[in-house]
Structure 1
Amino acid sequence: MQNVMRKSWTEGPVATFLSASLKGISQVLLIENAFSGLLILLAITTSSLLLGIMTILSAFIGNIIGKIGGADENSINQGLFGYNSVLTGIALTLFLTGPYHWIIALIGAAIAAIFTAAMMHVMKSSGIPVLTIPFIVLSWLMLLASYRLKAFQLTPDLVPQDLSNWEVDMTGKADWVEGTFNGIGQIFFLHNTLSGVLLFVAVFWAGWKFGLYAIIGNFVALITSYLLGGEPHLIFMGLYGYNAILTIFAVSVVFKGKSHRFGPYLGIIGACLTVLLTASIATLLLPFGLPALTMPFVLSTWLLLAARKVLPRL
């Protein structure tokens, strides 16, 4: 009787839904692991209780949209309808303000799941993964709506800036330890050392390759941005590291192709490329007051994965 009860508890519809939701959180890091998702949720909640609540609610919403829409059960259970919703919910919670910003964030999470489904269909024939493009485009559009719709109120941090008077700020000290943990933390918009530690535990739990490549990707981004003369406070806040980590995960671990010979090197190239893309995209968006989000990761990964279609030995 106890075995039957234990099995029903771990394999029932509620447990399946919770597992899919936690995987939706872990899929932000291209990881399919419910316990890693739980650790990531803990890392986010450690930094902000509100963000923790919005994270799990956004993951729930993404899965509910998938189920209501009749999506493939395997895709739902793998968390593929949750990760864009999670990122959208977190981003809009942080970048919007006002009494109803959390409602807008949850609505955005629902739209992100629909957008994800649409992009899955559009990109199916290309063999290129959707990644986080639904989150990026949707978040940008909803933030830009603030200039026309009073219900959308931007935080004071997102201020359009004039490039004609722009100057690089080289003040600030080098803190390599803080930069290491902030790099992975910024994937979830976190600037908290303990959260960074928990995120590293989450990726190592999913597999030693994820943990190793997280360290390598972040280190490559730190060194590259430092040698290229990046602004120290941006480098060590992790704003050059998070896209590099995601790119090396995608290219060297998750979508590594048939050849194991060039995978690690291609991932390192991709991590370096994200530094240049981060600087350029952030500059391009300054007049609009928009953050770069994970667009450097998407562009770098798409570029390298598409190149493999013509250069299969890579």
Structure 2
Amino acid sequence: MNKIFIKIPFIDNVLKGIGQIMLQENRWTGLLFLIGIFTGSWQGGIATLLATSASTFTAMKLGYDKSEIKAGLYGFSAALVGVALSFFFQTTILIWFLIVLGGALASIIQHFFITRKIPAFTFPFILIIWVFVFALHNFTNIPPSEMITAKPVDLNYSEFITPLNGFGEVIFQGGALSGIIFFIGVFINSPLAALYGFVGALLGAYISFTRGESIEGIHMGLFGFNAVLSAIVFSGVKKTDGLWVLIAVFITVIIDDLLIESNILTAVGGVLTFPFVAGTCITLLIQKIIPKRFV
């Protein structure tokens, strides 16, 4: 299998780009993520491949740094664009076109932030989806996908399954099976990151519960997936890493809850991973302000 990646590095770059959705530079993580997406929807799987391929191809043709392309840094936002569009809308010809276009645009926007050393994380994905969803809702009659209109079935209220659902919702997958696959995908590359993500999802669920958020939404993982990402960013072996995970998750979940309660982003597709980006950037800023001797 490794011979294929050596002979066709483009495949390796695409899979690493998908793995970077949860900050994992690992082709096998990316492959497991892809399997988890296909488990939920074949359209989502194809859309993920198309968008990530478009972004990687764009980065290569525009001469972006080869090491960054190899690391998958131009793939994760595009992958999320692809799966999000296939989740929100029925996959018409226009949607397939926008999936490819969105993937290419994600690469260009990501490059803008990378060259300026700005920690944008998944913001290119957020920006593109907000614009696309607003335009599609206001200027087309494309109906929503069956996934977004379907009612949740066999909802498991187990305290163990809830954080796994949080892993699944990072990539728009509502089933526990996808969440388990995603968790394993992170675990094979970084067990510590996977465990921190799991704890982050639990904390996110608990904080949202104390704030009176929807029990159904909490157990579906809708209030935990941003916390998963924030926890993974700050995961590490130092004792202080746990403190930063706690701070990041708390800030992220509060932002998430407030935005969801306000409904101000509903017209553009919802909060997506914006609470993760905002919460993580605020935590990074706090890290710079507080002297290292105090943490």
Q: TM-score, normalised to structure 1's length?
A: 0.84
Structure 1 residue aligned with 2:152 = none
Aligned residues: 285
The offset of 1:135, in angstroms, is 0.5
Structure 1 residue aligned with 2:221 = 238
Structure 1 residue aligned with 2:286 = 307
Q: Does 1:197 align with 2:180?
A: yes
Structure 1 residue aligned with 2:242 = 264
The offset of 1:7, in angstroms, is 8.1
Structure 2 residue aligned with 1:11 = 6
Distance 1:275 1:65 in 2: 34
Structure 1 residue aligned with 2:109 = 115
Cα RMSD after superposing both structures:
2.4
| Over 6 Å off, 4+ runs | none
The offset of 1:146, in angstroms, is 2.4
Q: Does 1:294 align with 2:273?
A: yes
1:96, 1:143 within 8 Å by CA — same for their partners in 2?
A: no
Residue type at the aligned position of 2:135: A
Task: Name the SS of the counterpart of 2:139 in structure 1.
Answer: coil
Distance 1:81 1:22 in 2: 11
Structure 2 residue aligned with 1:278 = 256
2:113, 2:119 within 8 Å by CA — same for their partners in 1?
A: no
Task: Name the SS of the counterpart of 1:216 in structure 2.
Answer: helix
Q: Does 1:106 align with 2:85?
A: no
**Deviations 1:183-211 (CA, angstroms, capped at 9, x unpaired):** 10000000111111111111110121112
The offset of 1:289, in angstroms, is 5.6
Q: 1:276 to 1:7 in 2, by over 3 A?
A: closer
**1:1-314 maps to which residues of 2 (within 5 A)?**
9-12=4-7, 14=8, 16-97=9-90, 99-100=92-93, 101-121=95-115, 123-124=116-117, 128-150=118-140, 153=142, 155=144, 174-253=157-236, 260-282=238-260, 283-285=262-264, 288=267, 290-313=269-292, 314=295
1:174, 1:232 within 8 Å by CA — same for their partners in 2?
A: no
Task: Name the SS of the counterpart of 2:264 in structure 1.
Answer: helix
2:86, 2:145 within 8 Å by CA — same for their partners in 1?
A: no
2:87, 2:145 within 8 Å by CA — same for their partners in 1?
A: no
Residue type at the aligned position of 1:277: I
Distance 1:90 1:105 in 2: 8
Distance 1:40 1:202 in 2: 7
The offset of 1:174, in angstroms, is 4.3
2:203, 2:249 within 8 Å by CA — same for their partners in 1?
A: yes
1:252, 1:263 within 8 Å by CA — same for their partners in 2?
A: yes
Distance 1:54 1:234 in 2: 26
Distance 2:17 2:176 in 1: 23
Unaligned 5+ runs, structure 1: 1-5, 160-171
The offset of 1:153, in angstroms, is 3.1
Task: Name the SS of the counterpart of 1:114 in structure 2.
Answer: helix
Q: 1:312 to 1:104 in 2, by over 3 A?
A: same
Identity of aligned residues (%): 29
2:50, 2:99 within 8 Å by CA — same for their partners in 1?
A: no
The offset of 1:32, in angstroms, is 0.4
Distance 2:291 2:29 in 1: 32
Task: Name the SS of the counterpart of 2:181 in structure 1.
Answer: helix
Distance 1:183 1:47 in 2: 15
Q: Which region of structure 1 is more displaced relative to structure 2, 136-145 or 102-111?
A: 102-111
Distance 1:41 1:187 in 2: 13
Distance 2:61 2:265 in 1: 39
